[in-house]
Chain A
Amino acid sequence: DAGVIQSPRHEVTEMGQEVTLRCKPISGHDYLFWYRQTMMRGLELLIYFNNNVPIDDSGMPEDRFSAKMPNASFSTLKIQPSEPRDSAVYFCASSFFVWDEQYFGPGTRLTVT
């Protein structure tokens, strides 16, 4: 398996624009997680899915953030409208079970100017 795939790897956008980050989990993994990493706050869980259903979105910072998982092999994290404070590295991870080892994608580095 190619591992967790994320796109794009880098995204630079202007404040107010919509940003969509994409993730393809490892085939067969039932759990998908979205994390954000910043210098100030470290790694934080934003939301996670089980069998395509959002289970816990308490980490999503604001209504500007939304995530979907239309099928077992694809998920999106959308920010609309984007703000400079959203600049961070966004990681997607997946696992077989919730207590299992998590495998991380390479991340998307987002810069909002």
Chain B
Amino acid sequence: KQEVTQIPAALSVPEGENLVLNCSFTDSAIYNLQWFRQDPGKGLTSLLLIQSSQREQTSGRLNASLDKSSGRSTLYIAASQPGDSATYLCAVKYYAGNMLTFGGGTRLMVKP
């Protein structure tokens, strides 16, 4: 079964800290991997999309890496701010099925 796992489920850090969110997937035959942000009661905002041929993508203070061979991706957030508090979701598009398979998310709290 193609699964996506995110650890930890919740994370609390002080403002200014650099942090890493983890995502693991069970099958390396993927099209791409997408990181989303979801604020409480809101929809999903796409943060970064990494194609299977890429190793990383950067947007502002965010950097996402992809290691297909080990089935892992990380989202690095530099100099965290209280406004970064949200749930971060990792989603993998496997070749089989053409669908996005989501992880359970990491709920991040950045304290002032």
Contacts and interface: CB of A to CB of B under 8 A. Distances in A.
Interface of A: 33, 42-45, 48, 55-56, 59, 91, 93, 98-99, 101-107, 109
10 contacts: A42-B104, A48-B98, A55-B98, A56-B97, A56-B98, A91-B44, A103-B46, A104-B44, A104-B46, A109-B41
Interface string B7-43: 0000000000000000000000001101010000111
Interface in B85-104: 89, 91, 93, 97-100, 102-104
Nearest to A92: B43
A99 B32 contact: yes
Interface secondary structure of A, over-half rule? strand
Nearest to B49: A101
Interface in B68-112: 89, 91, 93, 97-100, 102-105
A102 B43 contact: no
B42 A106 contact: yes
Residue from the set A91, A103, A104 with the largest chain B CB neighbour count within 10 Å: A104
Interface centre among B31, B42, B46, B100 (most CB of A within 10 A): B100
Contacts of A101: 34, 46, 49
A47 B44 CA distance: 18
A39 to B, nearest CB: 10
Contacts of A43: 89, 91, 102
A103 to B, nearest CB: 7
A69 to B, nearest CB: 16
A56 B34 CA distance: 21
Contacts of A93: 44
A88 to B, nearest CB: 13
A106 B38 CA distance: 10
Contacts of B41: 109
